[in-house]
Structure formats: structure tokens, C-alpha cells
Amino acid sequence: MKDANTKKVRSKPTAVEMRPEYDFSGGVRGKYADQYRRGTNVVLLEPELAKAFPDSKSVNDALRSLLSIATRARTRKTG
């Protein structure tokens, strides 16, 4: 039969101060909420492509050019 004194007595938790890196007292609530609602697309580029297209403007310009070429090719096929 189990002894009634086998339960561990829990000690009171010690007060732990917040680490400085977790101090959000200067934070702004909802700072990125609008951006999140609009939606963002994150795309990971392969290293060789990231060298060729170092920023979002260069990627967007290249994709717009490709879209223009693809649209023209499609209209030539059907028309």
C-alpha cells in the first residue's frame, strides 16, 4: 500500500524578473497589423538568383518583363 507521505511538496515559485531582451515596454501595439492584413508574399530565392536580383525592385522588374513577354506570346498563339 502506498504511503500517504509520498507526494512531493511543491515549493512556491520564485519571482523571476523579465530579461532585458524581453522588455516590450517601448513597443507599439499593432504596428504591422495593416501590412499583415494587406498580405505579404515572402519568396525565397536560390543563391545565384539572389545575386542577380539583389532587391525587390529588380525582382519585380524582371517578373513584369517576363509577364509582358508571356502575354505577347499568348496573344500571338490565339490570334
Using alpha carbons only, what angle is made at residue 16 by residues 12 and 20, rounded to the nearest 5 degrees? 175
Cα angle value 40/31/19 (rounded, 5°): 110
Q: Where along the chain do its domains lie?
A: 47-79
Return the amino acid letter for 51: K
Closest to 45 (Cα-Cα) out of 31, 30, 56: 56
CB 53 within 8 A of CB 62: yes
Is the distance from CB of 74 to CB of 66 less than 8 angstroms? no
Q: One digit per residue, pLDDT tens: the chain, 79 residues? A: 566 667 777 766 666 777 888 888 888 999 988 888 888 778 899 999 999 999 989 999 999 999 999 999 888 877 6
- Write down the pTM of the prediction: 0.48
